[in-house]
């Protein structure tokens, strides 16, 4: 009985160690700054949200700095009012002008800084969303937004690590936005519809087109039948009028 209890205790300790290793390592990674959605289409405009969680048990986050990638300048960047926070947009001069909708731009946004007003911040155990609207999105595969998170005690956490080649998440990952070509986005949407358990969804566009063609043909046939019916009725009326004697004066 004692040996059995020892074996059970050993198994529980081993299980606890494994759980700690798995969930403990996943904890910090889940608390870094992220961008949502994580995927968008090249050339388009979009609204994105930088979600900033607070990792400290005692301090509040008082400033968030998002650096826009230099290799992917954006022609338009606007921020949304976040109560209790001020937003400052800094621009930089481009080495080479970039054409956006037929116009040449020589400046692009380099950094967005959100600063909490006094007595305001991201408290322990909470998070804050910072929405932006940007575009047109460049023709690159990824956009890496390096970020700095400042706490009320002056501590600065640098979320600046870029994605690794082997796919392993770095210790302090920067927010990453994946970009796909427009034609690839359409193809992916069709593939996703085909794999979501409802095969008919993948053919929805084709079915709609076929339904539209069928409706047009049906209306055409109905019109033809109505026209022929009118001719027949007209002919009968004409024949009847010739057979009936003219009324006497």
Q: CATH number of the domain that 122 lies in? A: 2.60.40.2230
Numbers of helices and strands, H then E, in the chain: 4, 12
d(CA 134, CA 138) in angstroms, rounded, equals 11
The band of 227, judged by pLDDT with boundaries at 50, 70 and 90, is low
* Same domain for 219 and 182: no
Sheet holding 34-36, edge to edge: 34-36, 46-53, 127-135, 76-79
Which residues are within 8 A (CB) of 115 and not within 5 positions of it... i.e. 6 or more apart? 62, 63, 85, 86, 88
Contact 135, 75 (CB under 8 A): yes
Question: Does 12 map to a domain?
Answer: no
The band of 184, judged by pLDDT with boundaries at 50, 70 and 90, is low
Structural domain span for residue 131: 31-195
* Same domain for 185 and 219: no
- Domain tally, the chain: 2
* Same domain for 124 and 55: yes
- Give mean pLDDT, residues 12-32: 44
Question: Does 43 map to a domain?
Answer: yes
Residue 35: how many other CB atoms lie within 10 Å: 22
The band of 104, judged by pLDDT with boundaries at 50, 70 and 90, is confident
* Same domain for 227 and 137: no
d(CA 29, CA 26) in angstroms, rounded, equals 5
Cα–Cα nearest to 137, from 177, 176, 166: 177
* Same domain for 111 and 217: no
Q: What is the pLDDT of residue 25?
A: 34
φ/ψ of 145, rounded to 5, equals: -105, 95
Cα dihedral 9, 11, 16, 21 sign:
positive
Q: What is the pLDDT of residue 110?
A: 95
* Same domain for 174 and 231: no
Whether the model pTM is above 0.75? no
* Same domain for 222 and 164: no
DSSP-based three-state secondary structure for 54: coil
* Same domain for 161 and 116: yes
Question: Does 202 map to a domain?
Answer: no
Q: Which tokens belong to 22?
A: 């798995």
Question: Does 83 map to a domain?
Answer: yes
d(CA 100, CA 95) in angstroms, rounded, equals 15
* Same domain for 224 and 169: no
Question: Does 78 map to a domain?
Answer: yes
Q: In which residue are the tokens 């937004």 written?
A: 145
* Same domain for 77 and 39: yes
Sheet holding 39-41, edge to edge: 39-41, 176-180, 142-144
Question: Does 19 map to a domain?
Answer: no
* Same domain for 219 and 168: no
Q: Which tokens belong to 106?
A: 């020589």
Cα–Cα–Cα angle for 91, 73, 174, rounded to 5 degrees? 90
- Give mean pLDDT, residues 159-165: 94
* Same domain for 123 and 49: yes
Higher pLDDT, 194 or 184: 184
Question: Does 92 map to a domain?
Answer: yes
Question: Does 201 map to a domain?
Answer: no
Q: What is the pLDDT of residue 2?
A: 43
């Amino acid at each position: 009985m004692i040996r059995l209890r020892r074996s059970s205790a050993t198994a529980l300790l081993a299980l606890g160690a494994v759980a700690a290793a798995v969930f403990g390592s996943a904890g910090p990674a889940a608390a870094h700054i992220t961008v949502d959605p994580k995927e968008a289409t090249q050339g388009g405009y979009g609204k994105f949200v930088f979600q900033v969680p607070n990792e400290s048990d005692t301090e509040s986050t008082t400033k968030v700095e998002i650096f826009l990638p230099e290799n992917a300048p954006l022609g338009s960047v606007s921020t949304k009012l976040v109560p209790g926070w001020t937003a400052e947009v800094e621009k930089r001069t481009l080495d080479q002008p970039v054409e956006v909708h037929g116009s040449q731009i020589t400046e692009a946004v380099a950094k967005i800084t959100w600063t909490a007003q006094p007595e305001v911040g991201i408290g322990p155990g909470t998070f804050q969303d910072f929405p932006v609207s940007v575009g047109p999105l460049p023709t690159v595969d990824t956009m890496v937004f390096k970020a700095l998170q400042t706490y009320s005690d002056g501590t600065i956490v640098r979320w600046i690590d870029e994605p690794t080649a082997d796919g392993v998440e770095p210790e302090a990952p920067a927010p990453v936005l994946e970009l796909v070509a427009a034609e690839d986005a359409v193809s992916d949407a069709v593939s996703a519809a085909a794999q979501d358990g409802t095969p008919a969804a993948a053919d929805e566009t084709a079915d709609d087109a076929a339904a539209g063609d069928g409706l047009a043909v049906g209306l055409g046939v109905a019109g033809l039948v109505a026209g022929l019916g009118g001719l027949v009725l007209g002919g009968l009326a004409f024949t009847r009028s010739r057979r009936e004697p003219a009324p006497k004066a």
